Amino acid sequence: VVKTGNPDVEAVERLMPTKEERSDLLEQHGLVREHFVLATFHRPENVDDRETLESVLGALAALDVPVLLPLHPRTQRRIADFELSDIAGALTIVDPIGYRDFIGLGAESRLIISDSGGVQEEVSVYKRPAVVIRRSTERQEVEGTFVQRFEPGPALASHLATEIERAVDRATELAEMPSPYGDSQAPQRSVQAIRTLIEQPT
């Protein structure tokens, strides 16, 4: 076993759009830096039950800042199935966006709200606070620091409102905090470990 770190760190650092590209992204979506929320969710526990999905959408719609929601096809189908388009209409919904654009927008947002596992890792690299809407998370390394986790339900709107208020201060606190997933050298360490293994005499 060789501890290398997570290659996702290098992916985020290498693919992060430049400051100018991020400014263009904000302009494209009519957003202002640190004055919007980037949201994404698609997991069955959040979207396959009408009451839960209504709770999540309602909590996002109640926020006093714009919410950009790249809509996963699964979530889009459930919104239609459950006739929740009126609630979703309070959000800025766009088609799914590419990885570079997503992390670029995430880096410019005030807060990311998601149920994605990968997003939990990525925010620790570009140093933005995130809220994860799930009953549990396998990314326990970032829970309580980069990520605050809340379950869907009646209290969710209050939790999100509080996290919006705390987001700027949290971002300042997180700016100097190292990612628990290591640095950008994980791929190089992995390659070296493989070379060492295959070069060992049999």
Which active-site residues does the annotation give? 42
C-alpha to C-alpha distances, 194 to 199, 200, 201, nearest whole angstrom: 8, 10, 14
Question: End-to-end alpha-carbon separation of the chain, Å?
Answer: 18
Q: Report whether 186 contacts 180 (CB < 8 A).
A: no
Q: Which residues contact 158 (CB under 8 A, 6 or more apart)?
A: none
Cα–Cα distance, 172 to 153 (Å, whole number): 29
Q: Could you give the 3-state DSSP secondary structure of residue 197?
A: helix
Cα–Cα distance, 8 to 122 (Å, whole number): 7
Q: Which residues contact 49 (CB under 8 A, 6 or more apart)?
A: none
